[in-house]
Amino acid sequence: MTFSTRINEAITRTGSVTCVGLDPRKAQLPAPIRDAVSSDTPDAWAAAYTQFCCEIVDVVKEMVPCVKPQAAFFEQLGPAGMVSLGQVIRYAADAGLIVITDGKRNDIGSTATAYADAYLGSTASVAAAGGDPATASPWGGDALTVSPYLGRDSLEPFVEVCDQRAAGIFVLVKTSNPGGGYLQDLQCDGRTVYRSVADLVSELNAGRLDADGYGPIGAVVGATYPEQLVELRAAMPHSILLVPGFGAQGGAAKDVKAALDASGRGAVINSSRGIIFAHARKEFAGTFGDARWQDAVRAATAEMNEQLRA
């Protein structure tokens, strides 16, 4: 079973297209987690990040198809943070969630192969491909976000490992930030740069489609550019879309609907702060607050699922 089939089946099983972004930040951790940090050291904070993220996994594991740990926040703690990232990825994968590591990695040739080998393929994906779980990636996740700036030959090593381990990648096509258009919207021979990347993504999926017509090469398309989301859904009919920018960044449910196919699958919509720091949102602070932050996470996830089902 390929990555795209696994993610679409997880969407059907949970009735949700929500992806929970795991973006731990020291200052925003709920008080019970923050107060338990015994010393202001990377190891102590890393342990707090692990506990925080694993408790979120416990809350959401039956409610959503996937989680997306953001590597940057773990890397911010130094090597200790990367140990935490490894623990979080494995805990989430063991809980049955599909894990998309958000690292926006890439490099040339054999260095791209090293990143692919590092981050692509969980024991579950390798088993789903009929392989030996011992050949799963050392970090243990299913998929990775990847930057396209280095061109086609920098993506091909990832595609090869996707084939071997039933893994997936999400290529940055149109990002959700205000300045994303600086390069992405440039017009080159009548075609935007982001459209060139989208066409490359489609080419790479050719010959790799599952029974529903999806391939392992997904794409990141921000919720904050609804028109481009419509254009890119049509341009990449074979890609699972990973849609950031919902909630805190301003994307609305009506905007992201265009990312889904007729059966309500084919895309996952990410929310990070809106879910994991829900205890601080005014809708939930009064009811739950810091003390019952896990209940705030549950309520925010349920709310997002409802908004996206409507």
Q: Which residues are annotated as catalytic?
A: 104
Closest separation in Å from C-beta 50 to a copy of itself = 11
Closest separation in Å from C-beta 219 to a copy of itself = 13
Q: Quick one: CA dihedral 172, 174, 177, 179, positive or negative?
A: positive
90 Cβ neighbours under 8 A, 6+ residues apart: 140
Q: Is 185 exposed, middle or buried (0-12, 13-18, 19+ CB in 10 A)?
A: middle
Distance CA 310, CA 303 (A): 11
Closest separation in Å from C-beta 200 to a copy of itself = 7
E-strand ranges in the chain read 18-22, 66-69, 98-105, 143-146, 168-174, 187-188, 191-192, 217-221, 241-243, 267-271
Residue 35 corresponds to which tokens in the numbers above?
Answer: 């107060």
Of 23 and 303, which has the nearer Cβ to a copy of itself?
Answer: 23
Of 15 and 138, which has the nearer Cβ to a copy of itself?
Answer: 138
**CA angle (307 as vertex; 302, 310 as ends), nearest 5:** 120
Collapsed DSSP state (helix, strand, coil) of residue 79: helix
57 Cβ neighbours under 8 A, 6+ residues apart: 67, 88, 91, 92, 95, 97
Closest separation in Å from C-beta 297 to a copy of itself = 20
Distance CA 218, CA 242 (A): 7
How far is residue 182 CA from its own chain's centroid? 23
**Helix 109-119 and helix 152-165, axial crossing angle in degrees, nearest 10:** 30
Of 10 and 256, which has the nearer Cβ to a copy of itself?
Answer: 256
Of 5 and 111, which has the nearer Cβ to a copy of itself?
Answer: 111
Of 14 and 224, which has the nearer Cβ to a copy of itself?
Answer: 224
Length in residues, the chain: 310
Closest separation in Å from C-beta 203 to a copy of itself = 11
Closest separation in Å from C-beta 138 to a copy of itself = 3
Helices and strands, counts by H and E, the chain: 15, 10
Q: Binding residues for a copy of itself, per CB under 8 A?
A: 23, 25, 42, 70, 72-73, 75-79, 81-83, 85-86, 102, 104-109, 111-112, 114-115, 117-119, 137-139, 147-154, 172, 175-184, 186-189, 193, 196-197, 200
Q: Residue 25 in contact with residue 77, Cβ under 8 Å?
A: no
Of 191 and 309, which has the nearer Cβ to a copy of itself?
Answer: 191
